[in-house]
Amino acid sequence: MNAKTEEQIIREIIKLDALKIKGLGPAVASILYFLHPTIILPFNTAIINGFNHLFKDKKKLGSWNEYLKLREVMIDTNNQHRSELSSDLGAIAGLLFEIGTQKLILGADEYLSEPERKKLEKLIEKRQEEMQREKEDENLHTEMQYHLLKIGNALGYDVITASNDRSKSYNGNNFSFMCLSQFPVFDLDKETLNTIKLIDVVWFQKNTNNVIAAFEVEKSTSIYSGILRLTDLSYTIADGDEVFYLIVPDKREKDVCMQLSRPAIKSNNLSIKYILFSELKQHCDALCKFGDSHRIMEKIAKAV
């Protein structure tokens, strides 16, 4: 945009300010930002708070006059740090938002009141606990995939894990060395094939695209999503002699039974059994040693 256009926008803002229409500030700024992202800065309460914290100011929401002053400071700051930010003013506005919502702390947190500091500490503690749980869930998920790949290989099948998991490893065992280099070829539309490729582990008859077994390893996410992926596989590339399993944490056994009992699942006549994490982990080596086909998995599987 040229300087004349910028001047025109500013004049229109001044005219709007003269009308004293309540409640239009953030909404109008957002619209103008969308139209002119290098000229107009979006703003809301959090962005104003972030500005005040960062520049030790006391700007208030609801005044276009205050907004224009804030805008001048932010454009000047943005120009000084263009390489770290962007010509799009949404970047620096996002920074102010993070500061204003206390998701980003500026060095020492002296700008926070005691109640704000305590609230922030609780939020940080809660997020750390969530991250720890997520990490533990992901580690368990990876471990279960490893056991399934190991068993499949031991039984003489070609095995493959989800397309977004092949770079994973467990205890030094890289999945890429345990799996097929690529998913077998199927005559399917791209969207359906991409969905099936996200199934956690699939076993194939050696050197064929004949599906022997498919496994969905569940964590804290919806069990139903795994069931749907197995259902997609059953309606597309399966030929009727394969088996489907959900691998679930012991504490979620009740959840999986409830999902597998749903009328929508029962009406599909799709047989899906489930295996508990503890059972798969405990019996992995024995299944590898004594199994001679995928039927060995029925020793630890349960049906609803």
> What is the pLDDT at residue 2?
45
For residues 74 and 90, the answer to whether their CB atoms sit within 8 Å is no
Kind of pairing between the strands at 272-276 and 173-174: unpaired
Closest Cα to residue 179, out of 149, 213, 211, 208? 149
In this structure, the chain runs to a length of 304
267 phi and psi angles, rounded to 5 deg? -70, -20
Amino acid (one-letter) located at 290: F
CA distance 234 to 102: 48
Q: Tell the burial category of 172 from Cβ atoms under 10 Å away from its Cβ (0-12, 13-18, 19+).
A: exposed
SS3 content of the chain, % helix, strand, coil (to 5): 55, 10, 35
Positive or negative torsion for Cα 146, 177, 166, 186? negative
Q: Rounded CA gap, 204 and 188, in Å?
A: 17
CA 24 – CA 48 distance, rounded (Å): 16
Whether the Cβ atoms of residue 272 and residue 260 lie closer than 8 Å to each other? yes
What confidence score (pLDDT) does residue 241 get?
81
Contact 92, 85 (CB under 8 A): yes
pLDDT at position 124: 64
Question: How many Å apart are CA 278 and CA 256, to the nearest integer?
Answer: 15
Calpha distance 260→270 (Å, rounded): 10
Mean pLDDT by 10 residues, the chain (304 residues): 65 75 73 82 85 82 79 86 79 84 61 66 74 85 96 97 91 94 89 88 94 88 79 82 92 89 79 94 96 95 91
Among residues 84, 3, 80, 76, the alpha carbon closest in space to that of 41 is found at: 76
The residues near 76 (Cβ < 8 Å, ≥ 6 apart) are none
